[in-house]
Structure 1
Amino acid sequence: MTDKEFDVLDELYFVQSFDAILEEVELNESELAEVLSALIGKGWVKCYNDRQAEMPIASNDLGKDFATYFYLASKEGLLAHNGR
């Protein structure tokens, strides 16, 4: 796990918008989108259309506009984050 991935996961213990994560980490928008994409690919983060986080978006259905989604660390992501 990279330092950037660790910092982003640190913000995802609760459902967070892209903008809320961006305010807390030292990354620009494109870097954050890249890290979130990698974390989603690893299965460490789930992506949602809304804050209620009822149905995650399948990774193959994700568009390029990461700023419109909400994010939450998965169980696997929390274990990886805490095991570091």
Structure 2
Amino acid sequence: MTDREFDLIDELYFVQHYTYLKEVLGWEDEILLSTLQSLFEKEYIKCLKEPDLEIFTKIDLMASGKELYFLATKKGLMNHHAL
């Protein structure tokens, strides 16, 4: 897990919208979206259309990530705590 992935998972113990993550972390869109994509591919985060509506299909976060919510998965949290 990279430092950025670690910092991002720190913010995803609860469901958070993209705009919250952007504001709190202060990262450029490209960095935030690519880090979210990396975590999603590792199954460390879930993507949600609404706070309680998970997306189960493949998703291109670079294209639609700004409209979504995110939450760390059990796998993501276990790897986060292992460091």
Please say whether Structure 1 and Structure 2 have the same fold, judged by a TM-score greater than 0.5.
yes
The equivalent of 1:20 in structure 2 is 20
The equivalent of 1:9 in structure 2 is 9
Return 5+ residue gaps in structure 2 as ranges. Answer: none
Higher strand share: 2
Matched, 1:42 2:45: no
The aligned length equals 82
With the length of structure 1 as denominator, give the TM-score of the two structures: 0.89
Matched, 1:68 2:70: no
Deviations 1:20-54 (A, max 9, x none): 011111411110000000000000000010012x3
What SS does the corresponding residue of 1:65 show, helix, strand or coil? helix
Deviations 1:51-73 (A, max 9, x none): 12x33342x24461210000000
Kept in 1: contact 2:12–2:70 (CA 8 A): yes
Matched, 1:31 2:31: yes
* Distance in 1, Cα, partners of 2:81 & 2:74: 11
CA drift at 1:3? 0.5
* Distance in 2, Cα, partners of 1:21 & 1:7: 10
Return 5+ residue gaps in structure 1 as ranges. Answer: none
Runs of 4+, deviation exceeding 3 Å: none
When residues 65 and 22 of structure 1 are mapped into structure 2, their CA distance, relative to the original with a 3 A threshold, is: same
Q: Percent identity?
A: 32
